Copies of this chain bind each other. A is one copy, B any other.
């Protein structure tokens, strides 16, 4: 019977077959200790000269790292073995050879590994990070689905460059230019008028000439949008959301976090309430700490780290100078110069993971904003219709999946948090 390694506990004392790859091997005379991996875990298979055919023993002797094989044997408990179970082998079949596998247990440079991303994926650390990515994304979907959000997919091809063309990828669309969307938000705003609460979750594209450890040209963004929700409710939602997602990953991916040697006590502190500080107060903090920060500008990576460092949980910075924020954000009724925008900064210097806002729902106000931002009104007629026909107060946010996973995993560079990273100088493999 063929089983996966993570099912071994249900088959103790039984003879089973495991199909996988050779992760590691030790030999000592009449014994070969094969460490197998099959995508669900690691397992030691003991090949004893006494128990197998001469052929099978000789094959075991010649197995090399990353060859594929099918091993038959009896499952037993073995607390000292990785995963807690062991296989006493009765047969070994080599399926696919692996001669001179290029990634060895020794240290390799990052460019070397990125060039071999298709193989690097098999390493324990990359496997753990991407499992956590999948769990994080599933936790996010489950949070929203169980609360009545409708998952809809906003378009990638957009006819206009909503906030300037400089960072946009362009393509020719049957004779006209089209741009790859950087956000599904405006489309989500149309959708909430039918569904109340929606989200999109898909790839987004930024042609930024940026080479920092926090940038990818292609990354996944989750964008919930909610009718009848105001700025404070929006902050409540993102806080509750992050607490639940982090708790689930801690619960279900403890094994992978251990592989990454992640200090999970730091993640356990992610509890409500998160500090909510205004932009003005954040600017004061930077001034007090002697940072070279100009009031009215955006925070840089180091600024974010400094603002976050006094807190053991994510920090929400809100009520931003309206001038540096997008046209669609609602002004603060208590201070017209401010926008009801909020950024969430992850602890430990992982930077901004969420940006959100209450949206402007008044037709005249938003027309004024379009003019101020020199955005041609004709491209936004459909968007203005949302304020003409049954406009409602509403809010939403965008969360960068890779930055969030990078924070949860404690990885320095987000390029490890996506299957095949795309960066300014990297389009392959």
Q: Which residues of A come within 8 Å of B, CB atoms?
A: 2, 4, 6, 19, 21-22, 38-40, 66-68, 95-99, 101, 116-119, 121-122, 126-127, 130-131, 133-134, 137-138, 141, 145, 148, 150-159, 169-174, 176, 178, 180, 187, 190-197, 202-203, 205, 207, 209, 217-218, 220, 227-228, 361, 382-383, 385-393, 418-420, 422, 424-425, 427-429
A401 CB, min distance to chain B CBs, angstroms: 8
> A152's contact among B130, B145, B227, by CB below 8 Å, is which?
B130
A121 touches B191 (CB 8 A): yes
| CB of A287, distance to nearest CB on chain B (Å) | 37
**A39 with B118, Cβ < 8 A, contacts A174-B425, A203-B153 known:** no
Quick one: closest B residue to A177, CB to CB? B427
- What would be 24 A-B contacts, judged by CB atoms less than 8 Å apart? A21-B193, A21-B390, A22-B390, A39-B192, A39-B194, A95-B392, A95-B393, A97-B390, A98-B388, A117-B190, A118-B383, A122-B193, A131-B195, A134-B150, A153-B203, A153-B220, A155-B420, A156-B156, A156-B218, A171-B180, A174-B424, A174-B425, A178-B427, A382-B428
Assess the B153–A418 pair: CB atoms within 8 A.
Answer: yes
Cβ-defined contact, A173 with B178, below 8 A: no
**Copies of this chain assembled into the complex:** 2
Chain B residues near A152 (CB-CB < 8 A): 130, 133-134, 419
Cα A120 to Cα B109 in complex, Å, equals 54
Question: Contacts A40-B196, A178-B427, A419-B191: A382 and B173 contacting too (C-beta < 8 A)?
Answer: no
With a cutoff of 8 Å between Cβ atoms, the chain B residues found around residue A418 in the complex are: 153
**Which residues of chain B have C-beta atoms less than 8 A from A141's C-beta?**
138, 141
A154–B427 touching, CB < 8 Å: no
| Pairwise interchain contact A419-B127, C-beta atoms closer than 8 A | no
Nearest-neighbour CB distance to chain B for A114, whole angstroms, equals: 11
Assuming the A-B contacts A21-B193, A196-B38, A427-B178, are A419 and B187 also in contact, with contact meaning beta carbons closer than 8 angstroms in the complex?
yes
Q: Is the CB of A427 within 8 A of B148?
A: no
CB distance from A62 to the nearest CB of B (A): 14
| A391 proximity list for chain B (CB < 8 A) | 68, 95-96
Known A-B contacts A39-B227, A169-B171, A173-B169; the reply to A194 vs B121 at CB < 8 A is: yes
Known: A19-B392, A38-B196, A227-B39. A150 touches B172 (CB 8 A): no
A389, B101: Cβ atoms closer than 8 Å: yes
Query: In angstroms, how far is the closest chain B Cβ from the Cβ of A113?
Result: 13
Residue with the greatest number of chain B CB neighbours at <10 A, chosen from A99, A138, A383: A138
Q: Give the distance in Å from the alpha carbon of A170 to the alpha carbon of B172 in the complex.
A: 7
Tell whether, in the assembled complex, residue B121 and residue A134 are in contact, meaning their CB atoms are under 8 Å apart: no
